[in-house]
Amino acid sequence: MQPGTVLALGVATALLVAGPAVGLAALGDGPGSTEAEGVTAENETGASVSPGERLSGVVGAGQAELDGDLDQRTLGVQIAQAATETARAEVVAVQLESVEQRLADLEQRKATLDQQRATGQMSEGRYQSEITRVAAQSRALEALNNRTGQVAAGLPADLLAERGVDAERIETLRSQARNLSGGEVAEIARNIAGGPEMPGGPAGGPPDSPGLGPPDDDNRTGGVGPPGDDNPGGGPGGPPDDSPDEPPDDERPGGPEDD
Q: How far apart are the first and last CA of the chain?
A: 64
Tell me what the mean pLDDT of segment 155-163 comes to. 96
Give CA–CA dist 199/137, Å, rounded. 9
pLDDT, residue 48, reads: 80
pLDDT, residue 194, reads: 74
pLDDT, residue 193, reads: 84
In this predicted structure, the answer to whether residue 137 has a pLDDT above a threshold of 60 is: yes
Tell me what the mean pLDDT of segment 151-169 comes to. 96
pLDDT, residue 259, reads: 44
Give CA–CA dist 11/4, Å, rounded. 11
Largest CA distance in the chain: 102
pLDDT, residue 249, reads: 52
Tell me what the mean pLDDT of segment 130-150 comes to. 96
- Residue 186: helix, strand or coil by DSSP? helix
Query: With left for phi above 0 and alpha for psi between -120 and 50, is residue 238 left, alpha or beta?
Result: beta
CA distances from 138 to 45, 85, 123, 205, 222 (A): 28, 29, 22, 17, 28
In whole angstroms, what separates CA 64 from the centre of its chain? 7
Question: 79 falls in which pLDDT band (50, 70, 90)?
Answer: very high
In this predicted structure, the answer to whether residue 126 has a pLDDT above a threshold of 60 is: yes
